[in-house]
Amino acid sequence: MSSSVITAPVENLETLATHFFERSVGQWTSQRRYYTLESGETQEVVSNLSVEFLNADHPDILALAKMHDLDSAIICGVRSSWESNYISPSRKQATGSTVFGIKGNILYRDRGFATTKPVFATYELRDRNTMQLHTEYGGSAFDEELKLVGESYRTRQTIISRAGQEIMIGQYLETRA
């Protein structure tokens, strides 16, 4: 079976990633579950997400480039904001936002999933609808796939590993409002 990962010059990869970001813009409802593999515990979360496209000259993108000490511009990005309600096993609410930006095959973030410090991921596009990310920090690795399904749906899956051992899986179904 051959791989269908898009292998393209950097400029084309950036163009495809830009289109992926533009198609992700909007209001989304995210239903997700996190599975802790060792304990078998499951956590359910429902979030309202807002995804906004940011051009290269947007102040948040310029600040992101500075945060990562980049000497040339990030080409574009998105801001994702959320209001989350943790359903089980405990009830709690969380709000926040993060800024993503791309340059070459690197996706820069102003914060990570499990840290408030800036992080970066390598990314690939399996096809025009599917972005795969790999991020490492703090002794953990995060492998994520985001897939646009038509105009109204998006799926995501995240596998979190530590010391080469998978410890958690997050699965998401997101519906555009």
pLDDT in tens, 4-31: 555 555 668 999 999 999 999 999 999 9
Residue at 3 is within a domain = no
Distance CA 87, CA 146 (A): 23
The pLDDT of residue 8 is 55
Distance CA 53, CA 3 (A): 30
pLDDT for res 89: 75
**How many structural domains is the chain composed of?**
1
Domain extent, residue 45, equals 10-176
Instruction: For residue 119, give the CATH number of its domain.
Output: 2.40.128.20
Tens-digit pLDDT profile for residues 38-97: 999 999 999 999 999 999 999 999 999 999 999 889 999 999 999 999 988 777 889 999
Q: What is the rounded average pLDDT of the residues 109-135?
A: 95
pLDDT of residue 4: 57
Q: Are 79 and 111 in contact (CB under 8 A)?
A: no
